[in-house]
Structure formats: C-alpha cells, structure tokens
Structure 1
Amino acid sequence: MSITVYGIPNCDTVRKARKWLEQQQVTFHFHDVRAEPVPTSTIAVWLEQLGSDTVINKRSTAWRQLSAEQQQIATNEDAVRLLQEHPTLMKRPLLDCHGTLSAGFNEKLWQSALEQR
C-alpha cells in the first residue's frame, strides 16, 4: 500500500497539505482529480468509509453551481456519478494513507494516520 493525496494542484489547502507532507519527509503520490479521473471503485470506498456528507463539499462554489436536481443525492451511486462528473466537488485534499482515509487537511488527523503506517 502507499500514501496518495487526491485533489487539484491549484487549491490552497492541497498545496498546504502537500508542503506539510514534504516537511514531514513523507513519500506520497499526488493524484490530480481533474487530469486523471478517479475510478468509481475508489470513490465508492471513500463514500462507504467517510459518507457523502464528508466527501462532498456542499459549501463549495462547484456545489452552488449545480441545479437543485443535481444536488439530490439519494444513494452512493448518485454520489459516485456526481463526483465523476464534477471532481472539484470533493472535499480537498483527500488522504489515503494505507487505507486510512481523511477528507480535508487536518495536521493532527494526518499525523495520526501516518503514525499508524
């Protein structure tokens, strides 16, 4: 297993998280969700472990630009489809540290995930 950070490179929080990981001398892979779509199976795992309310950033500009119909998420399948169509809806960055997931950058949570590896 490995450490992967999902996000977009021009997001301030993603840049801050990547810089923090580099300062911790952690080797990680950065996955640009705009340039390389995230597989449906990966998104399904995120939603299963964290829930759609954690993975989807409903305070984002991208969310506000969706129609009311698009914002109706009844199932995880709906959420997967929405995140594939609009990858910037995800709460960024999303850390996958050997299967332990964390959405958003929180130094304490990320440090804890890294210590468990």
Structure 2
Amino acid sequence: MTLYGIPTCDTCKKAQKALANEGHAVTFRDVRMNPLSEAEIAEFVTEFGPAIINRQSTTWRSLSDFLRESEPEAQLAAQPTLMKRPVIRGPQGLTLGWTAEVMAGYGL
C-alpha cells in the first residue's frame, strides 16, 4: 500500500506507524519531493472531490485569490501540500484522512 503525504505531518506519521505495526507493507510517498502526476491528481479529485483540499491549512490561507478560486486540480498542481492527508492507496482502494472509519477498514 502507498501512503501519500509529507514527512512532517503528524497524522501521516501516526498512520504509517499504525499500519506498519499491524503488519501492512507501507510505502511512503512524499508529495512535496515527488509531486503527484496529472493522472494521480485527477484520480484523487474524482474520488474525493473538493474534500481533497485542506482548507484549514496555512498553505490554503496564503494562496492568492486567483488560486483559491481555481479548480482542485490546479490547486494541487501548484501546491501539493494542500492535499488533505493522508491519502492511502490500499486493498480497499483510496482512503482520505486518518479517521476511525479508515482505521477500522485496515483492522485497527
């Protein structure tokens, strides 16, 4: 499974550690160092819609008005750290965040 996020995100760290402790083989993908492709961005936006954008982040607050009004695809292409984290690609497909529901889906 692949966990998409950034290494400084506490939620990504918790998710990665919990999944590994449960025996899942987790590959971490730093979206800052290895940005999402256009196809991956399109897939994530199709799956999660505007929920893929973290509008609570300092990155969001620092965006220009033009970029705030742009489509999620343009926002993620310009600022990969706007992605709500983590996105996990696992046997169940794609999941967003590290909620109780997501954890239960991975047997945690």
Give the TM-score taking structure 2 as reference length. Answer: 0.90
| Paired AA for residue 14 in structure 1 | C
Stretches of structure 1 that go unaligned for 5 or more consecutive residues are: none
Of the structure 1 ranges 19-28 and 99-108, higher mean CA displacement relative to structure 2 is found in 99-108
**Which residue of 2 is the match for residue 48 of structure 1?**
46
Offset of 1:80 from its aligned partner? Answer: 1.6
Does the aligned pair in 2 maintain the 1:5–1:30 contact within 8 Å?
yes
Offset of 1:26 from its aligned partner? Answer: 0.3
Does 2:93 match 1:97?
Answer: no
Stretches of structure 2 that go unaligned for 5 or more consecutive residues are: none
Q: Hey, what's the Cα distance between the residues in 2 that align with 1:102 and 1:61?
A: 23
Work out the percentage of aligned pairs sharing the same amino acid: 36
2:5 pairs with 4, 7, 17, which one? 7
Offset of 1:98 from its aligned partner? Answer: 3.6
**Which residue of 2 is the match for residue 71 of structure 1?**
68
Number of aligned pairs?
107
Does the aligned pair in 2 maintain the 1:102–1:110 contact within 8 Å?
no
Offset of 1:99 from its aligned partner? Answer: 6.1
SS in 2 for 1:51: helix
Give the TM-score taking structure 1 as reference length. Answer: 0.83
Q: Hey, what's the Cα distance between the residues in 1 that align with 2:10 and 2:32?
A: 16
Does the aligned pair in 1 maintain the 2:67–2:74 contact within 8 Å?
no
